[in-house]
Chain A
Amino acid sequence: MAWVKKDLLGLEELTKEEIGLIISTAESFKDVSRRAIKKVPALRGKTAVNLFYEPSTRTRVSFEIAAKRLSADVINVMTETSSVKKGETLIDTGTNIQALKTDIIIVRHNCSGAAAMLARHVDISVVNAGDGWHEHPTQALLDILTLKERLGRISDLNVTIVGDIAHSRVARSNIWGLTKLGAKVTVCAPKMLIPVAIEQMGARVTYDIDAALRDADAVNVLRMQFERDEKGAFPSQIEYFKNFGITQERIKKAKKDIVVMHPGPLNRGVEISSEVADGTNSVILQQVTNGIAVRMAVLFLVSQAQDKKYGDTD
């Protein structure tokens, strides 16, 4: 199959085949980062713009490295204030970036739907690097790639996601992606942090961490954002760690080869103990490495779709 979308906005809108194509493309790009000269000319002459309205190191650097390994030029535009407060609208910023004859906008924004809105207003490609609580597709894709490498498949895996599901774009993208590929997803959190009707997205819900880990082939531990405004919805850090923290004791009771994932940045001793984070079940650093290949694949595919659309042959 061929990739035809100019944008990557989320995993909800992708088919199983499209997700498979990104993963297989990423697998073939992994080799590039192992070479002495870590560069291929696939995006030579293209310009990618990192447009980040939220602070991010990991994702931005990962996209930047991915684009550079494809020989694209990369510009970083960073602003910590939302477009509305700053004065210029997101659409105006986007059309200005397009007018600079760039090719791809990689956007991180605190508003759900911001990437979709931007994509409607520009002809160049838009890659969602996280929009509000909505989706963070490349994170879920790198989680999927990592799981596949470690366990050989996604189909029929039991994957548990623990943490603040309600405010997590990582959780949503993982639920869409994993369930499309045939995995069973369980979400586990204090009741206040489970969004209503999440079962209709295809996830099982439990409030019991030990039950959630019992049959799990993998656990994806989300960062607890205790700095959020709505403190009312949050348990205390100590209580959270006691009831939901991923500790060595809990991992010992789970399947022997359970894969422990975390999208980062880690709050050691808050949602995960150092012992687990640094232990043999942890694939946290492999996830970071795989992020490069996944983002290379995404940038490559959306760029290819544009070239086809405009009839470029290079």
Chain B
Amino acid sequence: MAILIKNGRVVDPANKIDDIQDILIEQSKISRVAQGIKVKAGEIIDATDKVVMPGIIDMHVHLREPGREDKETILTGTSAALKGGITSCLAMPNTQPAIDCAENVRLLRDIIKKTAKANVFIAGAITKARQGQEITDINSLKNEGVLAITDDGSSIDCDELLLEAFKIAKANKVLVICHSEDKLLTRGGVVNLGIVSTCMGLRGITKESEYKRVQRDIQLAKRASASVHIAHISCGESVDIIAKAKQQGLEVTAETAPHYFSLTEEQALGYDTNMKINPPLRSKDDVAAIRQGLKDGIIDVIASDHAPHTENEKDIEFEHAAFGTIGLETELAVAITELVQTETLGWLDLVSKLTTNPARILGLDKGDLSIGKDADIIIVDPYQEWVVSKDTFLSKSRNCAFLGSKLNGVVEYTICNGKIAYKK
């Protein structure tokens, strides 16, 4: 069935389009992008005053299946993704079991095939069971179709081992994604180290624990001549280190998450465990540095780091509560509210960090509205206000750092692989 999207503001950074256009979808592909398309289509969507953009590619998502289906499943996670305008996710491998061998990739792929509502791509683990001890069979992971490898949730402490992993990844043309955290420095910390940790009487997490690892991870990638993607950066020093690496021409890319450009450590005062996130919410200066890093193009990607947890794991003492916030359903609205409306980023820049850049980094033939491409398209009412509340989530979990926030930007349609997969 052909779908015609009329009169929307089409934002397509890959083709440098930011203009009122119509888009025609035929046989699940984009067949025309032009003004005033007149054809008979099965479905005509009036997108007047709406933004029409490629579906978001969220390259940092914890879908929890297999193993922790009480937190999220491929089905619930991808349903939440579609509601948030995300048509493709990269599933992190810290499941139970970890995605650390061909068999487990096949197991996950089977679940995806049966239940996923959006595109789910797979990241494999760098080390077996993510223990940081023994490198996985990266070649066979690649042959099973993983787009990247990462021990996300943990950093690999052994330099030699990570260097070796970079070399193998390079030979197999697999991207390495680094969770850069020195646990010897975080030492059981639960909030950013500073006045907030002091007032709350909680162990603080230094910024060094992050940026020293960012520095090391980049150096090891350089030695292996491999490319590296740094996940969820939260502080100004990390931005500076990545900027320098890029100046040197290294193949380094970086991502941050919505909470790092919108929330500060003060949010944790009052012991709201939804604000317990790793890396932690940082200072106002860090939030400003992250925004500047996005603006300057140092940070390539915005990804949710969607980290669902049950109430049992969150509604307990702050020190014992799990780290993380869900983000699939708030990511775009937080970005519009905190980046576009503050004039930190224009629409083209924002959309590139949500679509074209992650597509390029992952080697995906998606993320743009070129003729012949898979029709992953979203239609967004860009400035419609809404309040985040527990009962709006399609995610199985409710642990959201933005509960109660007033945000702008509502996804009205999500078209995934040429079909209307979500409609408000």
B204 touches A134 (CB 8 A): no
Asked whether A111 is an interface residue with its Cβ less than 8 Å from the other chain, the reply is yes
Taking the nearest CB of chain B, how far is it from the CB of A85, in angstroms?
10
Q: Given A84-B316, A90-B316, A172-B201 in contact, is the A200-B195 Cβ separation under 8 Å?
A: yes
B193 — which chain A residues lie within 8 A by C-beta?
196
Could you give 12 example pairs across A and B, Cβ below 8 Å? A84-B317, A89-B315, A112-B200, A112-B319, A116-B271, A117-B316, A117-B318, A132-B202, A133-B201, A196-B198, A196-B204, A201-B195
Query: In chain B, what residue has the closest Cβ to A165?
Result: B198
CA distance A117 to B200 in the complex (A): 13
CA distance A201 to B200 in the complex (A): 11
Chain A residues within 8 Å of chain B by Cβ, number: 27
User: Which of A83, A135, A196, A197 is B201 in contact with, Cβ under 8 Å?
Assistant: A135
Query: In chain B, what residue has the closest Cβ to A135?
Result: B201
Asked whether A305 is an interface residue with its Cβ less than 8 Å from the other chain, the reply is no
A195 touches B319 (CB 8 A): no
Query: In chain B, what residue has the closest Cβ to A85?
Result: B320
User: Which of A111, A196, A197, A201 is B317 in contact with, Cβ under 8 Å?
Assistant: A111
B320 — which chain A residues lie within 8 A by C-beta?
82, 84, 111
Interface residues of A in 63-119 (CB under 8 A from B): 82-84, 89-91, 109, 111-114, 116-117
CA distance A196 to B201 in the complex (A): 11
User: Which of A12, A109, A111 is B199 in contact with, Cβ under 8 Å?
Assistant: A12
A169 — which chain B residues lie within 8 A by C-beta?
201
Smallest CB-CB A-B distances: 5 pairs = A133-B201, A113-B271, A134-B201, A111-B317, A112-B201
User: Which of A91, A132, A200 is B319 in contact with, Cβ under 8 Å?
Assistant: A132
* Residues of chain B having any CB pair with chain A under 8 Å: 193-195, 197-202, 204, 270-271, 312, 315-320
A196 touches B199 (CB 8 A): no
Asked whether A198 is an interface residue with its Cβ less than 8 Å from the other chain, the reply is yes
B270 — which chain A residues lie within 8 A by C-beta?
116
CA distance A305 to B363 in the complex (A): 63
B271 — which chain A residues lie within 8 A by C-beta?
112-113, 116-117
Query: In chain B, what residue has the closest Cβ to A168?
Result: B201
A131 — which chain B residues lie within 8 A by C-beta?
201
B195 — which chain A residues lie within 8 A by C-beta?
196-197, 200-201
* Residues of chain A having any CB pair with chain B under 8 Å: 12, 82-84, 89-91, 109, 111-114, 116-117, 131-135, 169, 172, 195-198, 200-201
A91 touches B201 (CB 8 A): no
B318 touches A91 (CB 8 A): no
Taking the nearest CB of chain B, how far is it from the CB of A223, in angstroms?
16
Taking the nearest CB of chain A, how far is it from the CB of B48, in angstroms?
45
CA distance A83 to B320 in the complex (A): 10
CA distance A153 to B19 in the complex (A): 71
CA distance A114 to B199 in the complex (A): 14
B312 — which chain A residues lie within 8 A by C-beta?
89
Query: In chain B, what residue has the closest Cβ to A134?
Result: B201
A201 — which chain B residues lie within 8 A by C-beta?
195, 198-199
Q: Given A116-B271, A197-B194 in contact, is the A83-B199 Cβ separation under 8 Å?
A: no
B200 touches A134 (CB 8 A): yes
B194 touches A196 (CB 8 A): yes
B197 touches A195 (CB 8 A): yes
User: Which of B198, B315, B318 is A197 in contact with, Cβ under 8 Å?
Assistant: B198
Query: In chain A, what residue has the closest Cβ to B193?
Result: A196
Query: In chain B, what residue has the closest Cβ to A169?
Result: B201
B194 touches A113 (CB 8 A): no
CA distance A91 to B270 in the complex (A): 16
B204 — which chain A residues lie within 8 A by C-beta?
196
CA distance A311 to B316 in the complex (A): 32
Taking the nearest CB of chain A, how far is it from the CB of B312, in angstroms?
8
User: Which of B195, B198, B204 has the most A CB atoms < 10 Å from its CB?
Assistant: B198
Taking the nearest CB of chain B, how far is it from the CB of A135, in angstroms?
7
B316 — which chain A residues lie within 8 A by C-beta?
83-84, 89-91, 117
User: Which of A12, A113, A135, A200 is B318 in contact with, Cβ under 8 Å?
Assistant: A113
A111 touches B319 (CB 8 A): yes
Query: In chain A, what residue has the closest Cβ to B312?
Result: A89
B199 — which chain A residues lie within 8 A by C-beta?
12, 172, 201
Query: In chain A, what residue has the closest Cβ to B269?
Result: A12
CA distance A296 to B105 in the complex (A): 63
A198 touches B198 (CB 8 A): yes
CA distance A1 to B409 in the complex (A): 46
CA distance A213 to B319 in the complex (A): 36
Query: In chain A, what residue has the closest Cβ to B194?
Result: A197
Taking the nearest CB of chain A, how far is it from the CB of B320, in angstroms?
5
Taking the nearest CB of chain A, how far is it from the CB of B234, in angstroms?
18
Taking the nearest CB of chain A, how far is it from the CB of B352, in angstroms?
38
B319 — which chain A residues lie within 8 A by C-beta?
111-113, 132
CA distance A90 to B317 in the complex (A): 8
